[in-house]
Amino acid sequence: EYIDLIEFTNFVLDRFDMMIKTDGGDHQNSKAVSDFEDLNKKKYRIIRRYDRSSIWLEVDPDRLMQVIDNIINNAIKYSPEGGEIRVEIKTTDHNVIFAITDQGQGISKKERSKIFNRFYRIERARSRMNGGTGLGLAISKEVIETLGGHIWVESKENVGSTFSFSLPYDWHKWEDQNA
């Protein structure tokens, strides 16, 4: 199935934006209700930066949803009140790069290599009673790698983290078709 990544991302982000404006509503699509109850109480600001107005990709929207949903959930969950979350989509000749930056607690170098493992959660996250099983990033990694892409994190403790993933994409193909 072909989807427009820009339109799809806006759809996902609008849902998160709605959650801070409403008192919860029904979020039947969300996997963990407790996550959303936490998020509803939290204030955050989502900033969108895209270098194109549409990017067509052949992906299963449900699987891509799992990835984006988890990374944004994490960005909110592991950030302080009022944090800013920047969502960037950039394209190169052969890849589309999706990056989500938060102003959260950050992740130490030692832990950066472990957070993509199943069930791994940093102790701080566990003790703060944040809902979660530690599967989100493991699933995200599996989905992205199945699509031929990569997922990685850059982080500075007490400054924030950027989770990025890249997917193969040939924009010349679409230019030719539009010509």
Query: Do residues 5 and 55 touch, judged by C-beta distance below 8 A?
Result: yes
Query: Do residues 159 and 103 touch, judged by C-beta distance below 8 A?
Result: yes
Tell me, what DSSP letter sits at residue 92?
-
Helices (H), the chain: 5-21, 33-41, 61-77, 109-112, 123-127, 136-146, 171-178
Site string for Mg ion, 70-99 (x = CB under 5 A): x---x-------------------------
Closer residue to ligand ATP (CB): 46 or 52? 46
Residue 3: closest CA among 54, 43, 38: 54
Rule CB under 6 A: is residue 68 a binding residue for ligand ATP?
no
Closer residue to Mg ion (CB): 3 or 139? 139
Closer residue to ligand ATP (CB): 41 or 173? 41
Choose, by CB under 6 A, the member of 59, 69, 101, 132 that binds ligand ATP.
132
Choose, by CB under 5 A, the member of 136, 141, 143, 144 that binds Mg ion.
136
Binding segment toward ligand ATP, per CB under 6 A, in 9-17, 19-27, 88-96, 135-143? 135-143
Closer residue to ligand ATP (CB): 136 or 149? 136
The HSE-up count of residue 119 (CA atoms within 13 Å, CB side) is 0
**160-170 in b/e burial notation, b at 16+ Cβ within 10 A?**
bbbbbbbbebe
Query: Which residues bind to ligand ATP, rule: CB under 6 A?
Result: 32, 70, 74-75, 78, 102, 104-105, 107, 115, 120-122, 125, 132-138, 161
